[in-house]
Amino acid sequence: MNHPHLPHKLRIGILVTETTSPSLAQQHGDMFSMFQQVFHQTSAIGEGQLILDLVRFNVLDDPPQYPSTHDLDSGHYDGLVITGSTKNAHDDDPWIHTLMSFIQQLQQHPLDRKVPLVGICFGHQIIARALGGVCERNPHGWEFGPTLVRLTDQGRSYFGSKHTMCLNQIHQDHVPFLPPGFIRLATTEPHTSIQAMVSADGRCLSIQGHPEISCAATTTFLDILAPQIPDAVVQDARDRLQQHAGSMDDLWLAEKILLFFCRHLHTRTTLCISPSL
């Protein structure tokens, strides 16, 4: 990443919401290591290198791991990421309600002390549910493998430079409508209306697709989940995994996420969607 005025170091808390299967972890690492890989790859692009300090929090543990209130209030973390999960964001397990309470408390902080938050897949869905929206089964079924996601007018203004992005999808749930105070950035309508959204205060960004999961890892996910998925969807996903393996926008989106965290370090004020990252 070679951008003027970027900080030298960025500390990001990764809230891990998945216990990765041994077969997947052995081949591709767990959710935390997948984010490590894509963020470190992105930070090393260009002449200037951004040093990343990624801190793991296992929210499924008993007791669950979360950043302390002191660390959040004191600016110890420059950003937080809620990962994807094979769990359902619309379930009512105690750890899911604990995570929703954490999201709600985080968003109630004064703007100048609100830690920027990113949600991916399950993270996108749980943010929507926690902040007044809905997550539910998608009546259109699974969305799996490399998928062309269209940026809305607001999304093109927010991200800049692209009209579409190709990301791996692994989900059968969706956010059917925006929670209060959010703006839609991307869509795959008619399948999934809300593929990305940002809060009006600019401090919360969520994305349905996976910049952190490579096509190789998506293939392994597909092998594991295939018994739960219609055969036609499985075959279509396998075909697209072969066709699009070299044309994904993983690093492009990962860079946008890091820039989302970086730019808040310089302002600590309201950032609406008008400036491009």
What are the catalytic residues?
121, 210, 212
| Helix 250-267 × helix 31-43 angle, to 10° | 80
DSSP code, position 64: P
Rounded Cα distance between 193 and 173, Å, is 12
- Decide: helix, strand or coil at residue 112: helix
Contact 178, 184 (CB under 8 A): yes
User: Could you count the other beta carbons within 10 Å of the beta carbon of residue 231?
Assistant: 8
Residue 65 DSSP class: P
CA distances from 258 to 17, 63, 78, 135 (A): 20, 29, 10, 26
Residue 267, judged by CB atoms within 10 A of its CB (0-12, 13-18, 19+), counts as: exposed
Query: 67, exposed or middle or buried, with CB in 10 Å at 0-12, 13-18, 19+?
Result: middle
